[in-house]
Structure 1
Amino acid sequence: MELALEQIREQQKQTWNKFSPGWRKWDDFTMDWLKPMGEEIIQSLQLKPTDKVLDIAGGTGEPGLSIANLVTQGKVIITDLAEGMLEVARENAAKKGITNIKTVVCDVSELPFADESFDAVSCRLGFMYFPDMLLAAKEIARVLKPSGRVATAVWGTPDKNFWGTAAMSTINKTMQLPGPPPGAPGLFRCGNPGFIADLFSQAGFKNISETEIGGKLECGNNDTYWNFTNDVVAPAVAALSKADEATIAKIKSDVFHLVDQKCPDKKTALDYGAVVISGQK
């Protein structure tokens, strides 16, 4: 891996470890929100009870733990860059009495597994952050058995994800932050139709399909949305950490005004849109 990509990876590892306490705090809330994506991934994988499954960028455990409940005679390996996130995954597994899982800290571009080790690979909301997405897709293909299946979810385009743009657009505008370089890791990097499908095709996958998933981030009120964003959404936290109290107060006020325009009933249910892409080796 190129030096620049390695630097991105190390920075991401530090970031996710730093924010793992926030993910632990909001885990039930977040996993409930993201569940439809996990369910679509699981359906796409066509799992058998004896399957051995790799869950990449598994974070606090999903959809790996749900998959473990289905492959009762098999096993799930949950991987992530951040040990802090996997610690939460192990806690969640213990709470649910799930024993057929193992966690491994590793990078998707250098998977520490033999060729053709897994029947299926899942990856929910990871590809947008991989420094080299094609290398990641090729590594997934390498560790999959012949005819093995892969399924991933990525955020769609910004216009379908008000939950993310409400805060970030206001922060960027108020603080006059420079935009990221083209193709840099980020929330909506993979959102355009066909983006991941083309990547999968280049990596040698076939029978590729795309399914759009949409819904609402049900916050209930603006304060919950603001607190969630400040604990979990890394770009927002990083930016706000550099702002003074007056600037933060203005951003918060402007975000609330923007949300109220979209949610006049004050229930703060914010649109999200994702794409689930699956393929077969």
Structure 2
Amino acid sequence: MIVSDTFWDFEHAGWNRDALATSYHQHLGEVTAGCIPGLLQAVKLKAGDKILDVACGAGYVAAAAHKVSAEAIGLDFSAAQVRLARQTYPHIRFIEGDAEALPFAEKQFDAVVNSFGMPHVPHPQRAATESFRVLKPDGRFAYASWCEASKCIGISMVYDAIREHGSLDVGLPPGPNFFSYGDLKFASDMLGRAGFRDISGTELPLVWRVPSPEAFIEAISSGTVRAAAVLNRQNPANLENIRHYLRKMILGFEHDGGFAVPMPALVVSAHKPMHH
């Protein structure tokens, strides 16, 4: 699929809203934070390393790196996310910037990580190539992203509900396949073209714990960009049917007084060769 030039504008406008950044932080942030130990392990982070957290969001990964005495910098294209990160972690440097055009000279970092940011860039190949460029020789890169749709029930069931009771064709600018990054073959091709070697993946069995089906639906509607936009553009009758479908699905994940929805992620790691 050809990626529309307006995809970046669409994503940027969505993530740049304070209310959305806060909602994501309150709801999905708890799930995505589950990948942090895996990401830092994948880049073999140690004290004194200089690490760049691309698409840093509210700053969790940079903060975890700082805790182990690494020198962390966070970057995000959303001013709202950068504000949130700076408020939460005032002792860490966070800057506004584009994953596809990193504002750093080459060979600056021992490690670069990207936590759930890849599906939100229009040209993931450029983002991979930029991460490679700013890494020192022998540096390491890792990203986390949702597993393929058949495994990542929490997100795929939203699109299943829309397919069943509404329409996915609501005039959004076309973008990359949201689930591609959870496929190791796709990741290997993309990172290999950027120059990376030793590419491997580890699946993390993350779970989204929600108190009620309504809480899940509210989180998707207020704390995402693409899924929320597709939901918000359905007609009222279809939207009610979609919500009913989702309530029924979530009831099947009842666990320990709440609901535990499967949201597995893939952590992909790669290495920049020493002589490059």
User: Does the CA-based 8 Å contact 1:171-1:236 persist in structure 2?
Assistant: no
Could you list the per-position Cα deviations for residues 108-161 of structure 1 after superposition, in whole angstroms to 9, with x for gaps in the alignment? 111110011111101011122222222211111110011111111111111111
Partner of 2:115: 124
RMSD: 2.4
Equivalent residue letter for 1:84: A
1:51 to 18, 31, 49: 49
Answer yes or no: is 1:143 the counterpart of 2:134: yes
Report the residue type matching 1:8 in the other structure. Answer: F
Is the partner of 2:244 in helix, strand or coil?
helix
Same amino acid, percent of matched pairs: 25
Partner of 1:208: 199
Does residue 78 of structure 2 align to residue 79 of structure 1? no
Give the match for residue 42 of structure 1. 40
Between the aligned partners of 1:215 and 1:76, the Cα distance in structure 2 is 25
Query: What is the TM-score normalised by the length of structure 2?
Result: 0.89
Q: Secondary structure at 1:63's aligned position in 2?
A: helix
* 2-structure distance, mates of 1:161, 1:179: 23
SS in 2 for 1:159: coil
- Give the Cα–Cα distance (whole angstroms) in 2 for the partners of residues 127 and 27 of structure 1: 18
- Quote the offset at 1:264 in angstroms: 8.4
Q: Where do residues 92-241 of structure 1 align in structure 2 (5 Å cutoff)?
A: 92-94=88-90, 99=91, 101-178=92-169, 184-241=175-232
Cα gap change, 1:177 to 1:257, in 2 (>3 Å): same
Once the two structures are superposed, residues 85-114 of structure 1 have per-residue CA deviations (whole angstroms, 9 ceiling, x without a partner) of: 1111111103xxxx1x21121111111100
Deviations 1:182-223 (A, max 9, x none): x93243132223221221122111222211111321112212
User: Distance between the aligned counterparts of 1:80 and 1:159, measured in 2?
Assistant: 29
Q: 1:264 to 1:213 in 2, by over 3 A?
A: closer
Query: 1:5/1:149 Cα in 2 relative to 1: closer, same or farther (>3 Å)?
Result: farther
Q: Distance in 2 between matches of 1:48 and 1:179?
A: 46
- Kindly provide the amino acid, as one letter, of the partner of residue 250 in structure 2: V
Given that 1:221 and 1:266 are in contact with CA atoms closer than 8 Å, whether structure 2 keeps it comes out as no
Q: Would the aligned equivalents of 1:129 and 1:186 in 2 still touch at CA under 8 Å? A: no
SS of the aligned residue for 1:21 comes to helix
Q: Per the alignment, do residues 171 and 216 of structure 1 end up closer, same or farther by CA in structure 2, a change over 3 Å counting?
A: same
SS of 1:268 mapped into structure 2: strand
Alpha-carbon distance, 1:168 to partner = 2.4
Number of residue pairs the alignment of both structures matches: 270
Tell me, in whole angstroms, the C-alpha distance in 1 between the residues paired with 2:234 and 2:199: 44
Specify every segment of 5 or more residues in structure 2 that has no aligned partner in the other structure, as ranges: none
1:272 aligns with 2:272: no
Paired position in structure 1 for 2:62: 64
Give 2:83's aligned amino acid.
E
Q: What is the CA–CA distance in structure 1 between the aligned matches of 2:207 and 2:38, rounded to whole Å?
A: 16
CA offsets, 1:167-186, max 9 Å, x none?
222123322223999x9324
| Bigger RCO of structures 1 and 2 (CA < 8 A, at least 6 apart) | 2
Structure 1: where are the runs of 5+ without partners? none
Partner of residue 251, structure 1 = 242
- What's the CA shift for 1:32? 2.4
- Alpha-carbon contact 2:7-2:175 (below 8 Å) kept: no
Does structure 1 conserve the Cα–Cα contact (< 8 Å) formed by 2:166 and 2:239? no
Query: 2:153, 2:84 → 1: CA distance?
Result: 28
Question: 3-state DSSP class of the match of 1:121?
Answer: strand
Cα pair 2:184 2:200 within 8 Å, conserved: no
* 1:80 shift after superposition: 0.9
9 and 142 in structure 1: CA distance in 2 versus 1, 3 angstrom threshold = same
Pair 112,26 (structure 1): closer, same or farther in 2 beyond 3 Å? closer
